[in-house]
Amino acid sequence: EALRLTKAKGRDSFDLLFTDMVMPQIGGKELAYWFRLTHPATRVLFTSGYPEKSVAHNGELVAGIAFLHKPYTPETLAQKVRQVLDN
C-alpha cells in the first residue's frame, strides 16, 4: 500500500514513512529503499517487536536509522516522530 501511494496522483511528498522492520511480503528496509527512490527527502522511522540485534545488519542498526522498539506508548511514539522530523 505504501508503494502504491508513492505513485498516487496529487501526492508530491511525504514527511515520514513509519514502517515495521518485519512484514509478510516486503521488509521495512526494502520498503524504505523503494519508497525513497521516488521520495528521497522522506524521513524513515522503523519499528519492531523483535530484539534490535535480530533486525539489524550484522548485529548493529546502521548509524542514522531511527528505530522505535515495540511496545511503545502513544506518547513515546509522538516524541520519536517529532525527533525524527526535527532531525
User: pLDDT tens digits for 7-41?
Assistant: 776 667 889 999 998 888 888 889 888 888 888 88
This prediction has a pTM of 0.81
User: Nearest-CA neighbor of 45 among 7, 11, 86?
Assistant: 86
18 compared with 58, residue with greater pLDDT: 18
Find the mean pLDDT for residues 51-66.
61
Between 75 and 32, the more confident residue is 75
- Between CA 46 and CA 64 the distance in angstroms is 11
The pLDDT of residue 62 = 63
Q: In terms of residues, how long is the chain?
A: 87
